[in-house]
Structure 1
């Protein structure tokens, strides 16, 4: 097994795999090619002819589709639809409107090369663009107009323009989308013949294939061709698959017709093109196979060595890293992938070294911070006793209002500072009482500017929930709602049965300035991140409540639901199950 492991390396696997594949390919190619090279060459020549025909047809379809898309954009343009709709409804389009429409059409003409003009006509054949007194019947025949009407909005290709031999025309009916696709007029497209030049004489002479190509419309008129002008269309049309004589050379004719336009595409391929080069190719195959096998053996050995050597060096460096010796590995390869792998390893080494240093510094800082925290601890009962002493002193002096504020502060601090882990779950009644104490304190600070109410049913006060979920929402309602008003403000807290059976909905409402839809969307995004920037504080209250709801109840709650409109106030609510079951329990 150890002896076999020495040979089971990546380099040997690459070399053996390459050579095995190459030998199989050369053997199969040699056996098949020597027996059937002649047949394959003829088939390849025929396939080449068919491929040329398919490519030419595809190129033609692409050109036709481009014109179709352009005319569709013109026909569905909002400005054109509006003006033609006015004409259909009897409202005449003035000259200024026609000028602006002509500028709009000129923009579309610039989209595609070869467009001579885009013209718009109304249902009564009057010209809308261009700005002339021409009628549609002056451009095309009545038969062409009937074809456009029968096509019901589809583009109709008319072929060569009888009045201009260098122009191809197409027409489509404009359908008014706002008027149940009623007939609204016509779009006439005039294209230069050169737009349909599928090839040119220079490319034919450079390729050496001596193939000839021609495009004819439904009436046999020549739209494009790269063979002699003296050749009549009747000599090449309707001879698909046949051999025809043109001058001193024989050609195989391949003809295909476009389903879109009915035009005929004719490709003429010399007969001798399908049989030339058989003996030469046979010799080249044999010599190339022998030379390729030798060259492939040498290159495979060099390539496998070049690939595996840098990997072996990287493995050595990684083995050294296991013992805490994190050092860079020198780059020894010019291959992009291997250089990137080596660079990534070196970057990882730098990151690990930096991380080790950061962790070391953090441990020192944490130790110092914990020491300072221990030194700064204060017994919270000292604070409670002091506040109660203030209460009795104020009570003796008759300062009942201030005494109630001190009592509220004492209860507020006792509720918040209590560190008992068992006290993390409280009832809705406890939360509402805590919110009431907070509102009492804020009422004294804001005087008549703040009024508040807490409304709940007795059976809802016993529903359990995590501690400090309601008071942050009340605080948010005061800071961002009531305090932002110029006059008096109101905060309402409600706990009521939800529409879902077995759930309670808690709602905090304020009549502040509210939020726009954009700001509300930003607030939801910030809640997902767990932090919100705010000029009133650090903005963690709502995000903290949202996160605790998700962590505690999971899919049992949809989290915070916020409804707000500018000038209409804000409503924040959430639902919790009455049985108090959550992930934290």
Structure 2
């Protein structure tokens, strides 16, 4: 029985059902369609692409041959040969002869289509036609001129005109027939780009798109549906490429005469016109597979849901009383384990209910004690308030103000412990002022103090109780250690760094030597003070809170002190940092 449960799992049942469905559907579709569709697509695509390439190449060769024939006639004409022969013999061509030559060339231009102009140059690159003093070296580079010389009178196709991108130029050298075909000059033909359109408008709408690119990849002619990068197009030759949401097959053919590349994009939809056979096969296979899938799904769902429904009935019964276990009725491993897990959960829940009940009783007692503990701070504040009014009635205004300062001091430290521990610098300065008032009363004439703060700095957020320990430290280790009266100055101002505020606590006490100063920096870096020495606890705590609250935005405490010169402790904090501070009225001011 255990061996049967090991293999009779829900995963195996679902896997077996889906596997049967997929094998039946894929075998039917693949066996029926593979042979017919592969042959159909292969023959259709090969026939169409080859036919298109042959036709386009033949038409391009015919256009190129027309230009080649025309330029050859101009170069071999009697007038051209005679004038260039005289030029080679040292007899300059007169302006009248140039006009005569221009008329001769215009006759050829009149009977040719697509030719914008013909330009004639001497062997030393001077232009004879048109009638100006332009030089061949100013039209094309010397590299191309050398290439023309190497071709010995054959037409060399340059590509797009660098001075006029709307046209294409080709050059051939002129050879004198009666002088052993010696080099006598150059003939340049300037052709319109529209001359190389290889497809009619009706053909473009239904079938392929064509593009003609020169040796540098610049477009001479293109009827692609949108602008296409020639390098990207030529890198996908023989592959499928998507342009403007339409898939194409890209092929190319290079012209031997010009070195140009003819690229043809054939729509995939046109190539696969015979795909209807595949579509019908897929539909039939889909219907058959869908029926089989439905049957097996019904069987599997019945096998799965029946034991689960029994478990659901047991769970619903738990709403009406104590949780009870469910009997095991399924032989499927997963359902069997699910039922066991439910029964174990019922046992655990019954135990948790009892534990929670006891914890609620304990929590109620704890809350009662917490409410009683809250009476103590209120009693302290009410007592201080009564002292204040009593002193006011007796005219003891100075003592009354001290009581108010003590009340504000306690209220600032004790209250709102559950709220955000961030306050404003204004709150901290008011708290330090109350502390200084109390200490001034205790020390009488030995302590004088003042607070200097920019109004804009009072809204800067800081952690609570950050400044008071430094003021306390200045009084304890500065003023009280001094013979005679002393002064404590608390200054808040804009730092030299933009966006930062500087807080400084200064006293005129006995100061510290360098050894004591190095010790303070060492314990601040360590983060705690040893129990045997115990000095600098307040400064260590302030240093740690600065590092924890402002991360790398602060450099910590900066201590400056010399023996007999007093001590200055300062730090810089960013103006915007920490918890979101509501700029409401100060609730801590007493």
Q: When the two structures are superposed, what TM-score results if normalisation uses the length of structure 1?
A: 0.40
Larger RCO (CA under 8 A, 6+ residues apart): 2
Q: When the two structures are superposed, what TM-score results if normalisation uses the length of structure 2?
A: 0.40
Of structures 1 and 2, the larger Rg is shown by 2
